[in-house]
Structure 1
Amino acid sequence: MGEFRRVPAMEDPYEYVERCPWKIACEPFRVAPHVWYVSGNTWVGAYLIDTGDGLILIDTFEVRALYLLTEAVRKAGFDPGEIKLILLSHGHADHCGGLKALQEMTKAKVYMSKEDYEVKKTHFDRVFFRPDGQDFEPDGFYSDQKTIELGTIRIRTKLCPGHTPGTTSFFFWDEDGEGKRYLCGMHGGAGTGFLSDEYLDDYGYPRWFRQRFVDDCKEMASWPVDICLASHPNMTNFLSGVNWEDPSDYQGFVDRGAWRNFMLERAEDAERLGRGETRAR
């Protein structure tokens, strides 16, 4: 396996995506019994779930570097054509930019939050940021009262407004061949950079988004998540869990404390932001 590369903190990751995406490329690796990290890059996460009855993909990365994702799926031993469901965590181009191309290629059903769909309809630029974004239509919307089901997997969604109005988090149980179960959790948008007064005011979003973000993080911190899936690997030092000698070994990601600590850290960061004591991350 090749050595993975992080995006330097002071550099714009979009520059890598647009000009030289291979500089942030990484091989796929397993993070749970039936879950693989397949974004093909070290900046934004995307997860492939083998349900036994087709594949679920969470997030799609950017269209310019979509080849990294499709190659990662193949290298992990799967056929991108077997993707039956695509779930979007939130409406930002780095997480949904490749959606239209994948939707056309796989004919998968697409789900997202109704809230971010409305943003996409009325403020297209807030989702895609650039004029070349490829629009898409979802097949359905999330409901916190209804699980998304395929094969052996039942995914519970939780609306977590803040990063975007419709940011959605995902939770599901995965079981190994010996019957041991792991609760996997992914916060759909944990970056607090979109929670400043200035940003919220500029976009016309209510300032209570920030307190809702804090409350949701504190609530979810108590949930017994065994494997914390990172939407952006640098937020949790996620890549340190990879066993590059054996990328199918997911034990480095089994850590219930990691989820709790991440949620509480995110809540604290947002609270400090509200008090003007820190820069959002």
Structure 2
Amino acid sequence: MAKAATLALATVLAIGGPASAAWNDPQQPFKVFGNTWYVGTKELSAILITSPQGHVLLDGAVPESAPFIEKNIRELGFRVEDIKLILNSHAHIDHAGGIAALQKASGAIVATSAHGAQVLKDGTIGKDDPQFAAAKPDHFPKVAKVREVADGEVLKAGAIAVTAHMTPGHTPGSTSWTWQSCDGAKCLDVVYADSLTAVSLGDYRYSGGKGAPDVSKLFKASIDKIAALKCDVLLTTHPGASGMMEKRAAKSDSQNPFINAEACRELANRAHAGLATRIATEQGEKSAAIYSRD
């Protein structure tokens, strides 16, 4: 797994090092569309959906991000205490690390997939996670109470209705979320797509091996699910995955680059290409290993 591991390590850096500092760079909050707002850091998304009856927050970035997210929410004129639901995409430290603090500040219910809920309660990922590293396990603040959600389940906070879509691959519990956001009479379908990147540590193979199952077909199905969603506005767990900061810079009163009915399919096409490259690398390494034993 030398090539695949090298690629993974180039993508995933140890938290607390340079990656953590860059991920946590402050970012001014901004409106995406209607009642949907970006309140995360420069490189880690946190999305706020607002209503007079209460708000929904998606993801909490790293533990050090929680104060920035709270500040951004208040800067927009909303109360952290009015957050009723905190939803998680996947339970890695860069998306779940701040959730415990944000739950404490808001009193909100935290919800995610059954697999993700267990990881949030444990405060560390398990051996079935592609990014598990026994030598340096990933730890983040534990979340005491987490509601488990099923595929297709709708969670509500006031007038807000958010639907869970199980999209395993990047992690076993990866969850994408959809809702409608309105600006006056204009309502659009918003997709918060979980990470679709085939990133791992150590000897993990998405195509299976060494006692691990082949999850490549499951991952492909998740990518296809994202492509098939009603999708007028695409948001991603890492802003760079869908050019969110570039769209924000180009946004004006007369144009909103976040509105793109092809965005989910474009993301899926890139994800399929990335996964195909990863699987081909794995198959090549397996063949080389067999050849070396002959």
> CA offsets per residue over residues 154-182 of structure 1, 9 Å max, x none?
111111111111100101111211x1110
Deviating more after overlay: 13-22 vs 99-108: 13-22
Aligned to 1:137: 144
Within the candidate set 177, 180, 190, 2:186 is matched to: 180
Aligned to 1:4: none
Query: How far apart are residue 96 of structure 1 and its match?
Result: 0.8
Query: How far apart are residue 93 of structure 1 and its match?
Result: 0.8
Query: How far apart are residue 27 of structure 1 and its match?
Result: 0.4
Percent sequence identity is: 25
Pair 1:259 & 2:264 matched = yes
1:216-235 aligned at under 5 Å gives the runs 216-235=222-241
Aligned to 1:57: 57
Deviating more after overlay: 192-201 vs 168-177: 192-201
> CA offsets per residue over residues 168-208 of structure 1, 9 Å max, x none?
0101111211x111000011222221399725569965222
Deviating more after overlay: 121-130 vs 184-193: 121-130
Length, aligned pairs only? 265
Aligned to 1:171: 178
CA contact (8 A) 2:22 2:43 kept: no
Unaligned stretches of 5+ residues in structure 2: 1-9, 284-294
Aligned to 2:47: 47
Pick closer, same or farther for the CA change 1:213–1:25 going to 2, 3 Å. same
Pick closer, same or farther for the CA change 1:194–1:92 going to 2, 3 Å. same
Aligned to 1:190: 196
Partner Cα separation in structure 1 for residue 270 and residue 54 of structure 2: 35
Partner Cα separation in structure 2 for residue 211 and residue 137 of structure 1: 33
Pick closer, same or farther for the CA change 1:107–1:10 going to 2, 3 Å. closer
1:60-209 aligned at under 5 Å gives the runs 60-119=60-119, 124-126=124-126, 133-177=140-184, 179-194=185-200, 198-199=204-205, 205-208=212-215
Q: Which entry has the higher C-alpha Rg, 1 or 2?
A: 2
Please state whether the residue corresponding to 2:115 is helix, strand or coil. helix
Query: How far apart are residue 36 of structure 1 and its match?
Result: 0.6
> CA offsets per residue over residues 16-51 of structure 1, 9 Å max, x none?
5755776x2210111120011101x12110100003
Pick closer, same or farther for the CA change 1:204–1:68 going to 2, 3 Å. farther
Please state whether the residue corresponding to 2:281 is helix, strand or coil. coil
Query: How far apart are residue 125 of structure 1 and its match?
Result: 4.7
CA contact (8 A) 2:161 2:179 kept: yes
Partner amino acid, structure 2, of 1:99 = I
Aligned to 1:239: 245
Partner Cα separation in structure 2 for residue 249 and residue 57 of structure 1: 28
Please state whether the residue corresponding to 2:165 is helix, strand or coil. strand
CA contact (8 A) 2:53 2:158 kept: yes
Partner Cα separation in structure 2 for residue 193 and residue 140 of structure 1: 27
CA contact (8 A) 1:49 1:56 kept: yes
Query: How far apart are residue 213 of structure 1 and its match?
Result: 1.5
Aligned to 2:286: none
Pair 1:274 & 2:275 matched = no
Please state whether the residue corresponding to 1:276 is helix, strand or coil. helix
